[in-house]
Amino acid sequence: MNPWVSFLLRRTTRVVVAMLVIVTIAFGVLRLAGGDPVRAALGPTAPASVVDERRAQLGLDDPVLEQYVNYLGDLLHGDLGTSLVTGRSVSDLVGNRLMPTLELAGLAFVVALVFAVLIGLCVAVFTQGHRRRGLELAFTGVSGFLAAIPEYLLGVLLVIGFAITVAVFPVAGQGGPDSYVLPVIALAVSATAGLSRIARIEALNTLRDDYVRTARAKRIPPWRVYLRHALPNMLTGTLTIGGTLLATMITSSVLVEQVFNWPGMGTAFVQAIVTKDYGIVQGLALVYAAIVLVVNLLVDLVLALLDRRTTLLETG
């Protein structure tokens, strides 16, 4: 079999199996949570007749195995479930809220990747050969501190500083381009700091390779050595971590969206938890899981294209 086809089949099979496990867990959690989720969602004052009617509408009175089979069938037809409170389709909710979440996380990822690669390369150039020890220590300390700041906490600080105190950017909501600035920064800062450390290590390893020494010996201008020779070859390891980071940023956007009242899935997810609307929580959790798995699959494919030996030599 063609190694590329074999590689794609292995990766796709892993995604399908992982998704099936996640779907089963999500189904089981709702049933094993204890109590009556419909009663919890509708509240203690809801009439028993209303609760019973809602349970019948959702099929929660059917045998568990039948519920599971029906649940899988609905998922295959694009039905992610129904809100226990409003009866609204979760698929409709995702259709309205998915793009704002992907826009926010995607912009933050691009910002983090670009700045991390440039910062990592620049610091590596200035500190190679154990030079400028002070710069290296300052970079390590500052990047470590920024990487440790939770995104939601940074979001709150940005709102206080630049939306309330100075009033340069909007406090919340999705409007013009300026409404993206603070939430993108809140998501990107920690990621940039962590990824820049990886980029610096990759750049240092690349700058020690023989082909870089050869390029320097040919008196090629330094900027060409760094941008045309070092930069492309340091990206493999950085993109590996960066792809995983993108999936993490999508899930981390849940609390950042809440801070900025961003009209994405994260805001709906938190609101559903507060109102105990397990139908929405379950559906959105599956969407987040699917996004993470698909992103990781795409990262594997990109890395295989960048380094064909990954595909040709991989056996498992």
Residue 296 in domain: no
Residue 11 in domain: yes
What percent of the chain has pLDDT above 70?
Answer: 86
Residue 193 CA to residue 191 CA, distance in Å, equals 5
125 and 81 co-located in one domain? no
User: How many structural domains compose the chain?
Assistant: 2
Q: What is the DSSP string of 230-275?
A: IHHHHHHHHHHHHHHHHHHHHHHHHHHHHHTT-SSHHHHHHHHHHT
131 and 204 co-located in one domain? yes
Query: By CB neighbour count within 10 A (0-12 exposed, 13-18 middle, 19+ buried), where does 232 fall?
Result: exposed
114 and 48 co-located in one domain? no
Instruction: Name the 3-class secondary structure at 84.
Output: coil
115 and 256 co-located in one domain? yes
Segment 118-165, tens digit of pLDDT: 898 888 888 877 788 888 899 999 999 998 898 989 999 999 999 888
User: How many other CB atoms are there within 10 angstroms of residue 61's CB atom?
Assistant: 10
Could you tell me the pTM of the whole model? 0.80
135 and 258 co-located in one domain? yes
Range of the domain at 208: 101-264
Average pLDDT of the chain is 82
78 and 176 co-located in one domain? no
180 and 246 co-located in one domain? yes
113 and 255 co-located in one domain? yes
109 and 228 co-located in one domain? yes
Segment 199-258, tens digit of pLDDT: 888 888 777 766 666 766 667 676 666 766 666 666 766 777 777 788 888 888 888 999
221 and 158 co-located in one domain? yes
